[in-house]
Amino acid sequence: MRPRLICKKCGGIKFIGDSYYAYGSYYVDVTCVTCSDTKDIAVEKLNAFLAAFEKGKNANKEADSK
């Protein structure tokens, strides 16, 4: 399950759109479903962020179970 991304502007939930190719890289639009604030993020950077988030979440679970 992907983590919920929260909008810094309004606190709403962000939606990750489909990827698209531009300027030699793949990007996704990350848009708030409440206020429509949007950011274009390189797919590789988003994947790295999500992987780091999952790693931290799993580390917290392991620490809590000890």
Query: Each residue of 12-63: pLDDT tens digit?
Result: 999 999 999 999 999 999 999 999 999 999 999 999 988 888 887 665 555 5
DSSP state of 64: H
What is the end-to-end Cα distance of the chain in Å, rounded?
24
Cα–chain-centroid distance for residue 42? 11
CA atoms of 62 and 24, how far apart (whole Å): 39
Query: Considering the chain, what is the average pLDDT of its residues?
Result: 86
pTM across the whole model: 0.70
Supply the pLDDT for residue 41. Answer: 95
Quote the tokens at residue 26.
């793949």
